[in-house]
Amino acid sequence: MLMGEKVNIRPLQRDDLEWFTEWNNDPEYKGPYEPLENNTLEEIQKWFDSEKKTESWVIADKQGEPMGQIITGPQGDYYWLGYILHPNHRGQGYTTEAVKLLVDHLFSTKNVVRIQAECTPENRASVRVLEKAGFTYEGLKRKAAYIQGVYMDGAIYSILREEWNRKK
């Protein structure tokens, strides 16, 4: 478990899969910037039990209640990450702290020089999370993702190991 001042993050566990499935099938949780694909609990359990290169984490409050999720994985010579927080907890700095915790963990435990994230530029809350976590805007991938019937651009952000070290 990675412990912060406001939140902790811990690996996703089999016991989490019921709420995880419910939330990931909820359009309000997904919001306008995530695909609206639905999965059954059985499909999620099969995914959870499969060999995968990604790491899924739970963003939890200090009492251990889930608030959202964060995922990361290797992509060539760097790591990428993504996140989503339940609407009841947005706008309070929880995601920024969770991203910082995971970035610190990755730079401390993996031989990686760069961590990258991508979001739609219209998702101002996500852009703010990345900027507050120390990520730098690198550029735009035009019409990078087809989400909820619309092609959306992808804004690329990254943080380098030496930048993270300077901020610590």
Q: Are strands 8-11 and 2-3 parallel, antiparallel or unpaired?
A: antiparallel
Quick one: which H or E segment has residue 153?
strand 150-160
Classified as helix, coil or strand, 158 is strand
Domain ranges of the chain: 2-167
Helix 41-49 with 17-24: angle, nearest 10 deg:
120
Percent of the chain with pLDDT over 70: 100
Place of tokens 């251990």: 64
**pLDDT band per the 50, 70, 90 thresholds, residue 153:** very high
Q: What is the dihedral of CA 157, 128, 57, 43, to 10 degrees?
A: -80
CATH of domain 2-167: 3.40.630.30
Q: Which residue has the higher pLDDT, 33 or 14?
A: 14
Answer yes or no: is pLDDT of 138 > 90: yes
User: Measured in whole angstroms, how far is the alpha carbon of residue 5 from the centre of its chain?
Assistant: 18
**pLDDT band per the 50, 70, 90 thresholds, residue 77:** confident
